[in-house]
A and B are shown apart, each in its own frame.
Chain A
Amino acid sequence: MKGIRPRQRVNQADWNGYMKKRGAVAQDDILKRFFDTELPGPDTPISEVPMVALDMETTGLDERRHAIVSIGLIHFTLDRIPLSSRRYWVVKPPRPLSEESVTYHHITHSEVSDAPDLDEILEPLLDELAGRLVVVHFRNIERPFLDAAVKSRRGEGVLFPMIDTMSLEARLHRQTLWSRFRRWLGRPPVSIRLDASRQRYGLPTYQGHHALTDALATAELFQAQVAHRYSRDTLLKTFWC
């Protein structure tokens, strides 16, 4: 993951308090509504938490130089991922698309040139996220990009708790005694990328790099992680960060 800046660690012990505070000071109506919608508390069993899997395609990895091109999301719980709840937007980045990102995402110049600015879809986007636990694979893309994009358009950013399926995989494969032993032996670390992680749980391979497909893939992965490594009664605070 070359090119990612070291980031400020976001680790809120009291997410519900943080959201309440942000709601009280928010100037923008849409943001205020978002922060005021109550999230499940840290001691809620994960089986009762409404969630939304989110994925973004961006033109690069640095939120200061690159921009969001597409956003996909789908609501889900531990029991169901209803496809009818899916949403997908292509948005026009303020900077033109580079050739590499076109081949990478299969999103073409013409698709992007007719697309709205992120500002126009911000309201439906935040309404879909409000009150649900956002689940992503690798939060260091979604979190800073969304924050920066909103800040530049509305003057204040968005920050909220997330469940990161990649860091859950890392806990299992990168932070155990066994993984340290493997590293000591000089073995390559276990891959925790989305598709590699899914394969470990017997999940099928999807054609990658479509924000909605990846959001769906992330939702399925989280169901699998809970089924294998946790339980339906595991509390939300175990997962969010």
Chain B
Amino acid sequence: MDVELWEIRQHMGQFPPFDGLSDELLDAIAESVEIRYFKTGTEVLKLNEVLDELCYIRSGAVEVYRRRGELYNRLGEGDIFGHFSLMRNHRVRFPATAIEDTLMYFIPKDIFQRLCEEDEDFADFVELERPRLESVAQQQKKSNDMMVTRIRKLVTRYPVMVESTISVQDAAIQVGQAQASAVLVINEGSDNPRYSFKDSEGKTWQMCGILTDSDFRNRVVAKGLSPQTSVGDVISDHLITVQSDASVYEAMLIMLRSNVHHLPVLYRQRPVGVVHLSDIIRYETHSGLYLVSNIFNQASVQGLARLASDVRAAFVRMLQEGANSVMVGSALSTIGRSFTRRLLELGEQELGPPPVPYCFMVNGSMARNEQGIVTDQDNALILSDRFDPEQHDEYFKALARIVSDGLDACGYPYCKGDIMATNRQWRQPLHVWKGYFEEWIANPTPEKLLHSSIFFDLDSIYGEDHYVETLQDLIAQRAPQAPRFLAAMARNALNRTPPLGFFRTIVMEKDGKHNNSINLKRRGTAPMVDLIRVHALACGSKAQNSFQRLNDIDNTQLLASGVSDKLSYALEFLHMSRLRHQMIDLQEEREPDNNIEPENVDDSERHTLKDAFQVLSNAQKFLKFRYPIPAQR
């Protein structure tokens, strides 16, 4: 690589999809780039022009239009365009114009094709440029991949291994030479079948321990042992390992649970590497999972509360990295669940073990895995049927208090509707809970259900999971047979309507400080979630997440074909719009809320929002028609 190309290579290497390319491919691109300057207002690509190059914006900005002249996209430094045409018919479908003075890099077609062939991620990136609603599902798949990344991906080299008979000094020398920070200790034999393996010469070995940098310090030097001590004498007999196909997340939890920083990675019984906590941190810092590990490391509520600002930082980072609402929602829910779990662990440490088994249940957005950053806590306790209020309630009341106060300190304020385990009504044994749900379903009125509909999003996060499952089964069994219940739920789902039909422009709300803005939760996502819940209850779905509920609904004949897809696109857009505006609030150092301000809504977002509101409005009309209030007997 000659140094002269450095400027070009360096710049492209920072931006996706080039940031993941090998050095060799980056060199090949830089080598073949052609450059041209475009003054503001000049056409970069003309409609139907033959296109032989991928366009990369080195500086400036470009707008891409649809054939009808509508704005399709506005792009800036580091963005690419033209790949769509380049992959199809090689004629420009979406013309582009410089809206600032722009320096363009053109990458020839043959290099572009080579990139698509040789780099899968690059190919995915350019393939995914489809109408945005459609691409959601694909991205969702990708995020799942991320969650199941195997720990072996983080293993970069073969482990250093020594026999247990050698001296700690020799072991230290080997660790130093290999620039490692731990050595695996093995000996001949097979008395521990879990860790025995054969080497290439057919000899049987077994791993019997690990010696890390800190072990050299703590177990050898600090104890005043001679450098000639054999390693077998200083290793601990307690060996913690992970299988190579475990997820990164599992490996991290093992480390945290066992308080170790090095983890031998095994393929079956054979050691294939050693992963250090910092490897995982380096890998996971961006995904918010690092935050989760940090939560489990905190020993006090104060420590947990200090992490609240990290949640917001992780949120902004996720959005900037192009996460969709499912990814953000599940990441934030995982974080919220982790806070709750850790608080329960701390509570149990303080109060001692629980007198009877219990399950800590969450409701609302956390149960649906759709949590945002503007959220309050909704939780409840389901206790064992052996629960005796006289004897046991003091314990659970105190536990609920610790969790609820802790969550409030960590940025999850108290529930205004008092849906919290601190409320005695929501701290009850399982049979009482069953009674609640039976009553709601058998004798519903819209008024009665108004404040309890939140319980129909329910999930366990700690303790006896099967208590919640029992309730979920009960709901799935009874609800589809209860037309009056469904009608009452449907009625409530229509309480909040989207702003629509007022001269075809968005109607702003005029309540106090939120003048001239629209509450996207109240007028968009919440009514959408409500109506999806009604359909899900009607078809006996046990899913909690709205998108998963839509999948279940789609498998029935409840909605006309294609409707659930439309609902899911609209919900995704409403969610994303809300999240994006919260990100803007955070970036401009305002307290984030659910309102969007018209000055932050560009034309294309305005149009798509209008479409989404229309979808919601139609779906509400159908809901009313589908679940009528049955005639009184």
Contacts and interface: CB of A to CB of B under 8 A. Distances in A.
Contact of A83 (B6, B35, B58): B35
A179 interface: no
A84 B103 CA distance: 18
A223 B34 CA distance: 13
Interface string B22-36: 000000001111111
Given A83-B5, A86-B4, A227 B35 contact: no
B35 A81 contact: yes
B2 interface: yes
A207 B7 CA distance: 8
Contacts of B36: 79-81, 223
A201 B101 contact: yes
A168 B278 CA distance: 56
A88 B3 CA distance: 10
B39 A228 contact: yes
Given A202-B60, A213-B4, A80 B34 contact: yes
B593 interface: no
B59 A83 contact: no
A219 B103 CA distance: 12
Interface in B85-139: 100-103, 106
A174 B33 CA distance: 35
Nearest to A224: B37
B507 to A, nearest CB: 40
B42 interface: yes
Contact of B31 (A84, A88, A223, A224): A84
Contacts of A207: 6-7
A223 B37 contact: yes
Interface string A197-223: 000011110110010110010011001
Contacts of B33: 83
A88 B4 contact: yes
B229 to A, nearest CB: 50
B35 A210 contact: no
B34 A82 contact: yes
Which one of A86, A203, A206 has the greatest number of beta carbons of chain B within 10 Å? A203
A9 B612 CA distance: 70
Contacts of B101: 201-203, 224
Which one of B4, B30, B38, B59 has the greatest number of beta carbons of chain A within 10 Å? B4
B58 A204 contact: yes
Contacts of B8: 83
Contacts of A203: 37, 59, 101, 103
A88 B35 contact: no
B62 to A, nearest CB: 13
Contacts of A228: 39
Contacts of B100: 202
Contact of B4 (A201, A212, A224): A212
A232 to B, nearest CB: 11
- Chain B interface mostly: mixed
Contacts of A84: 31-32
Contacts of A79: 36
Nearest to A82: B34
A235 B633 CA distance: 94
A161 interface: no
Which one of A79, A80, A83, A220 has the greatest number of beta carbons of chain B within 10 Å? A83
Interface string A166-193: 0000000000000000000000000000
A223 B42 CA distance: 13
Contacts of A93: none
Nearest to A219: B35
B251 to A, nearest CB: 42
Contact of B3 (A83, A206, A210): A210
Contact of A88 (B2, B103, B106): B2
A212 to B, nearest CB: 4
B9 to A, nearest CB: 11
A79 B38 CA distance: 10
Contacts of A206: 7
B34 A83 contact: yes
B393 to A, nearest CB: 68
Contacts of B32: 83-84
Interface in B357-399: none
Contact of B42 (A86, A219, A227): A227
Contacts of B30: 83
A80 B2 contact: no
A76 B101 CA distance: 19
A82 B42 CA distance: 20
A207 B2 CA distance: 15
B391 to A, nearest CB: 73
A213 B7 contact: yes
B7 A83 contact: no
B464 to A, nearest CB: 61
Interface in A35-75: 72
Contacts of A80: 34-36, 106
Interface in A79-126: 79-84, 86, 88
Given A204-B58, A212-B4, A227 B103 contact: no
Given A83-B5, A86-B4, A88-B4, A216 B37 contact: no
A202 B31 CA distance: 24
Nearest to B35: A81
Nearest to B6: A207
Contacts of B58: 204
B45 to A, nearest CB: 14
Nearest to B37: A223
A204 B42 contact: no
Contacts of A210: 3-4
A202 to B, nearest CB: 3
29 contacts: A80-B36, A81-B34, A83-B5, A83-B8, A83-B32, A83-B33, A84-B31, A84-B32, A86-B4, A88-B2, A201-B101, A202-B101, A202-B102, A203-B37, A203-B59, A203-B101, A204-B59, A212-B4, A213-B4, A213-B7, A219-B35, A220-B35, A220-B37, A220-B103, A223-B36, A223-B37, A224-B37, A224-B39, A227-B37
Which 4 residue pairs spanning A and B have beta carbons closest together?
A202-B101, A227-B39, A223-B37, A212-B4
Interface of A: 72, 79-84, 86, 88, 201-204, 206-207, 210, 212-213, 216, 219-220, 223-224, 227-228
Given A83-B35, A212-B4, 6 more contacts: A72-B4, A81-B36, A203-B59, A203-B103, A207-B7, A210-B4
